[in-house]
Amino acid sequence: MRLSGRSLAFLLLSLSSAFSYRCFPQTSTPSALSPSANESPSESAFTPRQLLRDLNEHGISPQAVVIYDWSKTLHAKQDSGNGFGRYSFDLLVPVDGKKLFGLSGSAGMARLKHHINVFGETYDGAAQLYSNIDASSRTTLYEIWFEQRLMSDRIRIKAGKIDANTEFAVVQNAGNFLNSSMGYSPTIVTFPTYPEPKPGVSAFVNAGASYGLGLGVFKTAGSNTLSIVEPGRSWNIGKLDHPGRISFGYWRLDGRISRFDDSQSSGAHGFYSVVEQSVLRQPLAQDRGERRVSTFLQLGWAEGRVSGFTHHIGGGAILQGPLQRRSQDSLGLAATWVRFSSEPQAGFGLRSEFVVETYYKIPFNKHVALVQDFQFLHHPGGLRTNGDCPVITPRLVISF
């Protein structure tokens, strides 16, 4: 769902009115928001901070995130002049259903997203996007969903317009990498995630503290249906508490699907797996926090007659607190490899693409962070005409 600027303003006003009506009863008698005889106007003034405090008390916790990054290739033939700038703004409104509606175990979310390509020309030779916010300019109601927990939180049911990657194929340790393949395997065909989630229903069952099962059904582009089954297991190793997890997902796409040879198929399927493991936890001197090393591994497979990506392997490591005085900094190194479809009509001259990525993240405070990212693309796009290409991308993240 795309929204114009006028429609977005109307939606925000409507949400604000609805929340205000629910949170602040309309009455003709003096309320806590009205000045009393003993208060001066300045003492009783209604401030944004007071509004946020009252919203939080009623289970509404507005949040916002601004991401701005700028990419520049370092290869003469792929050089795009001044590079390419883009930014993304997210307004998130999580809702605690117990506080707002009195419904225990419930929660919801409304999320608006505004994305703009700011300037320049991007190098589009890579099959695996080197910035995970690359998309055409748009303003959308990105997510709106409601969930309910049952049986002492053993069962969770969620429905609405959902970013499927927040629940399935998630790589928890890879959130600071910029390449899109670090977030989920690109072998999942028409995965309803950024930049355009789709309506869906999902259910999650926790069979004890270590085992879980996720089930999801989502609409996709072209009115097809994507079904996902993802069992998982978590654990801790040793006395130093090294958490780890593994998940295995099977997906099936149903509907009219065009193959590369222009024939039609009634379905396609594939699988993916994610493994994550903490391998080091070391206290820093003078109680400055701790140094941690976490690792991850991804695998994926899909049918080459339908998907441009048939195999995927990715993995990496993240060092939290690389310096004694910088316990919140992080350093990451990872690689991702995909094998392309061998179908002649798929248009790939080479069989694979390989990307190495490294980043260093510096949080200045709890609201502002800078990520300096570098990627090296080998055989970008699987085309012989594309030479190997290094790319730098500094990213600024502001949250409030």
Average model confidence (pLDDT) across the chain:
87
> What confidence score (pLDDT) does residue 120 get?
81
Q: Is residue 73 part of a domain?
A: no
Residue 359 has pLDDT above 90, yes or no: yes
Residue 235 has pLDDT above 60, yes or no: yes
Q: Is residue 327 part of a domain?
A: yes
Mean pLDDT calculated for residue range 124-135 = 90
What DSSP state is assigned to residue 220? -
Q: Is residue 395 part of a domain?
A: yes
Residue pLDDT, tens place only, 174-203? 999 999 999 999 999 999 999 999 999 999
Mean pLDDT calculated for residue range 360-376 = 97
Q: Return the SS3 of 210.
A: coil
Lowest mean pLDDT among 22-31, 245-254, 313-322: 22-31
Q: Is residue 8 part of a domain?
A: no
> What confidence score (pLDDT) does residue 374 get?
98
DSSP per position, 201-269 = EEEEEE-SSSEEEEEEEEE-GGG-EEEEEEEEEEEEETTTTEEEEEEEEEEEEEEEEE-TTS-EEEEEE
Binned at pLDDT 50, 70 and 90, residue 33 comes out as very low
Lowest mean pLDDT among 13-17, 221-225, 292-296, 369-373: 13-17
Q: Is residue 364 part of a domain?
A: yes
Q: Select from 188, 179, 194 the least CA-distant residue to 126.
A: 179
Question: Cα separation of 98 and 80, whole Å?
Answer: 52
Q: Is residue 352 part of a domain?
A: yes
Question: Cα separation of 161 and 313, whole Å?
Answer: 29
Mean pLDDT calculated for residue range 129-144 = 94
Residue 23 has pLDDT above 80, yes or no: no
Element (H, E) at 97: helix 97-101
Element (H, E) at 270: strand 264-283
Mean pLDDT calculated for residue range 319-332 = 93
Structure-token pair, residue 341: 């479809």
pTM score of the predicted model: 0.85
Residue 249 has pLDDT above 80, yes or no: yes
List the domain range (segments joined by +) for residue 228.
150-399
Enumerate residues 6+ apart whose C-beta is below 8 A from 350: 340, 379, 382, 383, 384
Question: Cα separation of 313 and 300, whole Å?
Answer: 7
Question: Cα separation of 286 and 179, whole Å?
Answer: 36
Instruction: Report the domain count for the chain.
Output: 1
Q: Exposure of 9 by Cβ count < 10 A (0-12 exposed, 13-18 middle, 19+ buried)? A: exposed
Residue 308 has pLDDT above 70, yes or no: yes
Structure-token pair, residue 347: 């248009």
Q: Is residue 281 part of a domain?
A: yes
Mean pLDDT calculated for residue range 358-375 = 97
Q: Exposure of 27 by Cβ count < 10 A (0-12 exposed, 13-18 middle, 19+ buried)? A: exposed
Residue pLDDT, tens place only, 150-164? 999 999 999 999 999
Residue 282 has pLDDT above 70, yes or no: yes
Q: Is residue 20 part of a domain?
A: no
What CATH number should be reported for the domain holding residue 297? 2.40.160.180
